[in-house]
Amino acid sequence: MEPTKRMTLRVLLAAAFALTAVTSHADEKKITLGFAQVGAESAWRTANTVSIKSAAKEAGINLKFSDAQQKQENQIKAIRSYIAQKVDVIAFSPVVESGWEPVLTEAKAAGIPVILTDRSIDVKDQSLYTTMIGSDFLEEGRRAGKWLEDRYRNDAGPINIVELQGTVGSAPANDRHAGLMEVIKNDPKFKIIASQSGDFTLAGGKQVMEAFVKTYGKQMNVVYAHNDDMALGAIQAMEEAGMKPGKDVSVVSFDATHGGFQAMVAGKINVDVECSPLLGPQLMTAVKDLVAGKQLPKRIVTNETVFPQSVAAQIMPQRKY
């Protein structure tokens, strides 16, 4: 072949290659994920939302996001709208455990797979969701119970516990309570003298604690708060009543957020059981795997630990939420 012809051929080949590259890229459909969030009730939740939004961006996934303001009916509405919009995958963090069959049956009939994150649900038909990514709240409750057993090992008791529960009917509230009970039920010196929901918020925790302080005062030995926001609210209520949280009363909390760590360093929370909100990257991997037709494990459990007050100052700089 003459050099000029060879040259033209080369140019033509290169152009053809470039064209295929462009078309195949355009053919690659962007995955759309509909995510129905619980709300913005706590520092944990804020970190969870940031994690999901930034992981979706990073993974090149088109995210439709809704905030249910802690109301199941809002979440159901959001899921229905994702079904109507024919998204590729639906994920949600269920406010409460019960009542999901109807809407999940609709998703299944539409052929849209559902992933649960953070909180689990109570359904007979396990085929209504593909996988559940999140913490083991029962184990978290047990961990807190074991810390209490150790702390009061040489104390004859009674050890009076007041409990600030999370949202009524939610998996973390149910299981953090059940996990504690499992550990202390055989030791009669531990008594839960009062238990009420503060809805996982700082204001809720403070309000419930104000009432507990008035009714039980010095009788209280332990505040068992289902999250840091409520623990921080309870601390305010105790301080306003002239008590010394962390000293007069042990404060046990969950999440291990920055706020929780700060209170530990200040000596006001005695132990914080870790619960990680950074579920975004794992969720996006699961979404991509699902769309690629891969089989997912039914349960993906987050790795977590317990932070006693004694390690708080040293660990705090490494915390990411």
User: What residues make contact with ligand GYE under the rule CB under 6 A?
Assistant: 41-42, 44-45, 118-119, 172, 200, 227, 254-255, 275
- Least distance CB 287 / ligand GYE (angstroms): 20
Backbone torsions φ then ψ of 305, nearest 5 degrees: -140, -170
- Least distance CB 254 / ligand GYE (angstroms): 5
Q: Which is nearer to ligand GYE, 137 or 212 (CB)?
A: 137
- Least distance CB 45 / ligand GYE (angstroms): 5
The CA distance from 312 to 264, in Å, is 6
Residue 133, C-beta contacts closer than 8 angstroms, at least 6 positions apart: 115, 116, 117, 118, 279, 282, 283, 286, 300, 302
- Least distance CB 316 / ligand GYE (angstroms): 18
- Least distance CB 104 / ligand GYE (angstroms): 19
Q: Which is nearer to ligand GYE, 45 or 143 (CB)?
A: 45
Q: Which is nearer to ligand GYE, 32 or 167 (CB)?
A: 167
**Cβ burial 18-31 (10 Å sphere, 16+ → b, else e):** eeeeeeeeeeeeeb
The CA distance from 108 to 103, in Å, is 9
Q: Which is nearer to ligand GYE, 53 or 288 (CB)?
A: 53
Helix (H, G, I), strand (E, B) or coil at 145: helix
Helix (H, G, I), strand (E, B) or coil at 89: strand
Beta bridge partners of 223: 162, 251
Q: Which is nearer to ligand GYE, 119 or 143 (CB)?
A: 119
